[in-house]
Chains A and B, each alone.
Chain A
């Protein structure tokens, strides 16, 4: 499912977002601040717990999750759809990865011409690690015919 190329892509300091939905089929969004491929089918991702309460409740309720990742320089993008597995407090190694993501993404947005430190304006006081099982992957790089399942 997750090829070596896709695993490397997931681990990049890239733009990321998480989509969930409630029992009335109303969508919710949470900003993802870092993700790592655990194995061929699972991704661990970082969200801010206080500002993601609705997404967390949605995932516990129906397990559906959709993760989008875009490499901001090339616009290469993939969507990973699947099921919520767990939400746990990050350990020390997770926080090292999270800090590296924040620094790496900050460097990227500066290279794009935005102000340094913009990424740190996003709430990140209490991170939580979500593990998802990937069931489907779609390419979403801007081009004609994009959106195909891979």
Chain B
């Protein structure tokens, strides 16, 4: 069973934006930058649903996502192979993500642009250390 270690969690601070790849039911890959891969527990993460409409459409057709995260301290990176579980628009995870996203938006001067629509919750199927 894959486990998100402390070292991997350090890559989820939102300091270095992450990239996610999804695939449509027709088989067309889509890649997007996202502000946040949020740690939920040792086997689950949440992605912030802000703009990535095509990514959201894809994962409702095909639940698989590949996310890349980078530790800002040493540049180490991982690929998280994820399976979509469900969306949340309220509750502890959503509120924590909203607070973290506000901090990221403030850092980037994009307070008026970043708005959390939902927390998309995923089970971590496997983790690959790229370095």
Contact = CB atoms under 8 A, between A and B. Distances in A.
B31 A75 contact: no
B66 A62 contact: no
A35 interface: no
Given A19-B30, A19-B31, A26-B23, A75 B108 contact: yes
Nearest to A138: B54
Contacts, number: 117
Given A31-B68, A66-B31, A25 B50 contact: no
Interface in A59-85: 62, 64-68, 70, 75, 77, 79, 81
B91 to A, nearest CB: 25
A120 interface: yes
Interface of A: 15, 17-21, 25-29, 31, 51, 62, 64-68, 70, 75, 77, 79, 81, 114-115, 117-123, 138, 140, 142-144, 146-147
B65 A27 contact: yes
A51 B130 contact: yes
Contact of B73 (A115, A140, A144): A115
B131 interface: yes
Most chain B beta carbons < 10 A, residue from A25, A62, A117, A146:
A25
B79 to A, nearest CB: 6
Given A26-B23, A29-B79, A68 B33 contact: yes
Contact of B50 (A67, A75, A142): A142
- Interface range, B side: 35 or more
B74 interface: yes
A67 B65 CA distance: 16
A110 B121 CA distance: 33
Interface stretch (B1-9, B14-22, B37-45): B14-22
Most chain A beta carbons < 10 A, residue from B33, B51, B75:
B33
A96 B27 CA distance: 35
Contact of A66 (B29, B53, B68, B79): B29
Contact of A27 (B22, B54, B72, B74): B22
Given A21-B23, A25-B23, A29-B19, 11 more contacts: A15-B17, A25-B62, A68-B19, A68-B33, A114-B15, A115-B73, A115-B75, A118-B72, A121-B75, A122-B131, A147-B53
Given A114-B16, A123-B130, A142-B110, A19 B29 contact: yes
